[in-house]
Amino acid sequence: MADYTIRPAIPSDGAFLADMVVEAANWRAGATRPKPTVFADPVSRGYIAGWQRPADTGFVALDGDAEPIGAAWYRLFAADTPAHGFVAAGVPELIIGVQPLWRAQGVGRTLMRSLTDAARAAGYARITLSVEHGNFAHALYRSEGFAVVGTRGGRDTMVRVLG
């Protein structure tokens, strides 16, 4: 059993969350897009810009030395703000990343569950995300109750009804 803990994300987690956006952008084996290239994309910038806004909610996983090893968070986007998984105003979009050494040990699933529980508790009816075709994370999202609601530009938008 991997030794990690989960805590709510705080304003000073912004730099680590930015690292997780870079991990998410480099999910493909062998991908090495550096941080400046990733954040030249306004969509990538939008996932962390101004963290932590009032409606921003997230969780950070920590190793035994209290160092961050993964994070999942959501934020709200407006219809005119670029975000890959936008479905409607008022539906938060989930972003997730786990450091390579810690993948496939249950950290991502644990973070997702904490986040979807928090979204439900905050009163949201749905939560959305975007995943590129071929990413194994698709299987994780399906198994956590997300379903594909649209496809564009090699990406699926997946939504979970929180009910």
Helix boundaries (H) for 3-46: 14-25, 35-38, 42-46
Backbone angles phi, psi at 69, to 5 degrees: -125, -10
Site for ligand COA in 100-119 (CB under 6 A): 103-109
Query: Is 23 one of the binding residues for ligand COA (CB under 6 A)?
Result: yes
The correct pick among 9, 18, 76, 131 for binding ligand COA (CB under 6 A) is: 131
Query: Is 98 one of the binding residues for ligand COA (CB under 6 A)?
Result: yes
Residue 20: how many other CB atoms lie within 10 Å = 25
Query: Is 127 one of the binding residues for ligand COA (CB under 6 A)?
Result: no
Residue 72: how many other CB atoms lie within 10 Å = 30
- Nearest to residue 44, comparing CAs of 95, 79, 78? 95
Q: What sign has the CA pseudo-torsion 108, 137, 159, 92?
A: positive
Nearer to ligand COA, 109 or 126 (CB): 109
Nearer to ligand COA, 56 or 156 (CB): 156
Query: Is 19 one of the binding residues for ligand COA (CB under 6 A)?
Result: no
Nearer to ligand COA, 24 or 115 (CB): 24
Measured distance CA(83)–CA(77) in Å, rounded:
7
The correct pick among 9, 18, 21, 24 for binding ligand COA (CB under 6 A) is: 24
Q: What sign has the CA pseudo-torsion 35, 39, 41, 46?
A: positive
Site for ligand COA in 40-79 (CB under 6 A): none
Judged by the rule CB under 6 A, the positions of this chain that interact with ligand COA are 23-24, 27, 96-98, 103-109, 131, 135-137, 139-140, 143
